[in-house]
Amino acid sequence: MLSVTRYSVRSARLKPWVKFIWYLKTDENILLNNKLLPTDSIDIILNLSDIIEYKIGNQNYTTNNIHFNGIRDKYGFIIQRGNIRVMGISFYPFGLYPFLKVPISEFNGQIVNLEQVSDIFAKKLEDSLNKTSSVEKYVLYLEEVLLSILEEGLIENKSVKILDSFIYDNRYSNIKSFCDDMNINIKTLERICLKYTGYTPKILKRICRFKMASNQLIRTYKNNELFDFIYENEYYDQAHFIKEFKEFSGTSPIKFISENKTIKENIRYSYL
């Protein structure tokens, strides 16, 4: 069994961009071969153990120690062996741009070695690996590195507010009503979403909706609640829910519940 500790971000400057920092470990030799589901997070991975391999669609990736996962609209698999120790930094969908300074649309669905995009950022993270053996202190070092790289002004405050509201505010029934309320045109929203998250508004909302539905199925599902999930997560009907769920997860909702194959289902969480 894997365990993950999630550490809250302390710096007020980082909180608009970084969700949390996490540490994953196992105390025994294992073979990790679990499904990765589409998600709205972008994660920088600092691997402190054996090589991580990924399979996303038809693409296989063997990564170096410091890499990141772009937002995905397809499921994949993660494979790792041994005593696993991994640090991770989870960013909001638009949160990595002020650190990479490169349009995120270039990395859709990919596993990317960080040094190929920002050698300075990768070097600073690599240098921090040897600072301490204490995970708690290492989390603080990671915040220092992030603060030294961060350029908040790369995204206008207005764009940040638009993205945050569009992704996380569920008041709006469609993209047009959101744009009307925000007094922007749909093309402007598309441009902002593509540059800072890598996806069109429509696909981004579908990814977020799937993430919510799959999390509910993993954590709180009861046999008589499937139809509640459909309407709580704003799917049109059962056929729409099943079709989209299979597209993102590779399996039907009922089979998904019984498979117990995803990385989230096989992790024990704690929060600090």
Residue 127: is its pLDDT beyond 60?
A: yes
Q: CATH topology for 206-264?
A: Arc Repressor Mutant, subunit A (1.10.10)
The answer for residues whose C-beta is within 8 angstroms of residue 60's C-beta and 6 or more apart is 53, 54
Average pLDDT over residues 35-53: 88
Q: CATH topology for 2-153?
A: Jelly Rolls (2.60.120)
Closest CA to 41 of 12, 64, 19: 19
Q: How far apart are CA 171 and CA 182, in angstroms?
A: 13
Question: CB–CB of 270/6 below 8 Å?
Answer: yes
What six digits make up the tokens of 245? 């769920």
Half-sphere exposure of 220 (CA within 13 A, CB side): 7
In degrees, rounded to 5, the angle at the alpha carbon of residue 27 between the alpha carbons of residues 56 and 219 is 55
Radius of gyration of the chain (CA): 19
Residue 128: is its pLDDT beyond 80?
A: yes
Q: Domain residues of the chain, as ranges?
A: 2-153, 155-201, 206-264
Give 199-233 pLDDT, tens digit per residue.
999 999 888 888 888 877 777 655 556 666 676 66
Residue 62 bridge partners (DSSP): 53
- In the DSSP assignment, the letter for residue 170 is T
Give 82-126 pLDDT, tens digit per residue.
888 899 999 999 999 999 998 888 888 788 999 999 999 999 998
Instruction: Tally Cβ neighbours within 10 Å of residue 116.
Output: 10
Q: How far apart are CA 23 and CA 76, in angstroms?
A: 21
Q: What pLDDT sits at residue 217?
A: 77
Predicted model pTM? 0.89
